[in-house]
């Protein structure tokens, strides 16, 4: 793993944890408060807490999205993932299996057929 990929991956983990924390402390529309006590977090930032948390969450979400796209391109490039289509292999038609004759219950094996074309017989 390269230095840039490792640095972006560490930053991605920190942004992910920060985004989880931001979502947990926001108050819901029902007014019940966040998991960590939404009322206490609102008094820290003043009366415009919802605006600050909303904007911070929006920025963290966009950063999360951008970092995830960058990491997906970097890992796809470093793993050598090939996007060219592989030609489909079409199986050849098999020879027809002859039917069983008589009371022989032994399995029958088809005989290989000749691939040479029939020769033309001269007319007399």
What is the three-class DSSP state of 9?
helix
Q: What is the pLDDT at residue 115?
A: 66
Give me the pLDDT at residue 88, please.
Answer: 78
Please count the CA atoms within 13 angstroms of the CA of 88 that sit on its side-chain side. Answer: 3
pLDDT (average), residues 66-92: 79
Average pLDDT, the chain: 75
pLDDT value at 124 more than 90: no
- The better pLDDT of the pair 115, 56 is held by 56
The per-residue pLDDT for 51 is: 83
pLDDT tier for residue 103 given thresholds of 50, 70 and 90: low
Question: Which pLDDT value is given to residue 7?
Answer: 93
Q: How much is the pLDDT for 87?
A: 74
The angle at the Cα of 51, spanning 20 to 62, to the nearest 5 degrees, equals 45
């Amino acid at each position: 793993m390269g230095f840039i990929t490792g640095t972006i991956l560490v930053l991605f983990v920190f942004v992910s944890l920060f985004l989880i924390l931001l979502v947990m402390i926001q108050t819901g529309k029902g007014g019940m408060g966040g998991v960590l006590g939404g009322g206490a977090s609102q008094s820290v930032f003043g009366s415009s807490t919802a605006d600050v948390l909303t904007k911070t969450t929006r920025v963290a979400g966009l950063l999360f999205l951008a970092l995830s796209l960058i990491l997906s391109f970097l890992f796809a490039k470093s793993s050598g993932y090939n996007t060219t289509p592989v030609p489909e292999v079409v199986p050849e038609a098999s020879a027809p299996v002859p039917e069983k004759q008589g009371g022989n219950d032994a399995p029958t094996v088809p005989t290989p057929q000749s691939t040479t074309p029939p020769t033309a017989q001269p007319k007399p």
